[in-house]
Amino acid sequence: MKKKLVVLTGAGVSAESGISTFRTNNGLWDNHRVEDVASIEGWYRNPQLVLDFYNERRLQLGTVKPNAAHYALAELENEWDVTVITQNVDNLHERAGSTRIIHLHGELTKVRPENCYNDVDNYSEESVFDIGYDVVNLGDLAPNGAQLRPHIVWFGEAVPYINAAIDHVMDADVLLIVGTSLQVYPAAGLYAYAKADTPIYIIDPADVSVRDGRLTHIKDVATSGMETFKNILKSK
């Protein structure tokens, strides 16, 4: 039986594919206030702005490709039982070949009716539609007659798959964290659910604020850091 490797990925993985991390030191996302483009209040205030923002992100996604870090994670499935838990809303893990992916914050290539709330019990995947890299306009309606909105978990909304993610982390033989500063909760607290004897590796070029005796920091970008991590796994 393969050992279980759980991987938590963030924006730093996709940044090397050319996808902007959006957030800057002044709290803006691509020159927009977060509350204007990533909150339900922003949606009700100016849905056209929100649709335009995600339409641009979706079109950009269609122009980029997975990088070596995405492919390295997919290749690990040959030797490990791998589950990727990602904070990213792109589809680069899927395109690289990973087969077990939990999208904590939604998916950019999908939409759902605006009256299907992103809650653990209040919408089903049957309400979610894959539109690829197409744009969504005001007046584009779901079968139930409601306006389509991005299938994104906005700030203040429930994270529907957080409990599933916790279950996977609790079962992990090895936990890997790549490309996330562990600043956005609840995802940032996931590592704490790992068993006491589970080794935790974090790949990030920046200093890490987390203090945990189980943690090994590989201070590198995702692509080259994954090569270091694979060499560590070979010794296990």
Tell me: the pLDDT tens digits for 141-200? 998 899 999 999 998 888 889 999 999 999 999 999 998 877 766 667 899 999 999 999
> Which of 93, 103, 105, 151 is the catalytic position?
105
Is 32 annotated as catalytic?
A: no
Decide which of 94, 118, 152 is a domain's last residue: 152
Q: Are residues 8 and 74 in the same domain?
A: yes
33 and 72 belong to one structural domain: no
pLDDT, residue 20, reads 73
Range of 33's domain?
20-63+109-152
Judge if 76 and 177 occupy the same domain. Answer: yes
CATH number at residue 177: 3.40.50.1220
Mean pLDDT is lowest, of 10-14, 99-103, 145-149, 231-235, for: 231-235
Query: What is the total count of domains within the chain?
Result: 2
Which carries the bigger pLDDT value, residue 67 or residue 188? Answer: 67
What share of the chain in percent tops pLDDT 90? 69
The 8 Å CB, 24+ separation contacts for 182-187 are: 182/208, 182/209, 182/210, 184/87, 186/159, 186/162, 187/8, 187/10, 187/85, 187/87, 187/104, 187/105, 187/159, 187/162
